[in-house]
Amino acid sequence: MVGHGVQRRALIELAEALDAPVEFHGPALSPEVMEFYRSADTCVVSLRDDWKSFETTVPSKTYEVLAVGRHVTGIVLGEAKKIIEESGAGAVVPSDPVAVADLWKRLASDRTLLLTGTSGRDWIHENANLESQCLDYIAAIESLAGAGAK
């Protein structure tokens, strides 16, 4: 696990108590983060499910994980859930430890479910490509400006 989430200390204690084979790494900067993404079977993108504002929030790492081509375990609602499901690059489960464990058991028993191919990258290219979005925005402005000149 990488980062410094609010549950980090409790997770470390739980892993130690269970003698679970979990490695914990501190926060990582961009090049190192990409290496963690590439070496992971699945990458967790999660947000609290009890804040209404998180229904429209999309963690930036969602885009990073899709761009790297990794499977996403989404513990999210709203827009982030929609992106993960539309991309076909992962699975979304409720914010429930049993649901997460069940998903990971399925992934461990059928590792082909982890193979996302280019679906995440394709979704990014079609929906979150900065250059393409800028060109679309410029075209929309030009169209509006041209329509007003007539």
Position with higher pLDDT, 30 vs 8: 8
What pLDDT score does 150 carry? 55
pLDDT band per the 50, 70, 90 thresholds, residue 141? very high
Say which residues have a Cβ less than 8 Å from residue 102's Cβ, sequence separation at least 6. Answer: 93
Distance, C-alpha 103 to centroid of its chain: 15
* pTM of the predicted protein model: 0.82
Percent of the chain at pLDDT exceeding 90: 69
What pLDDT score does 148 carry? 61
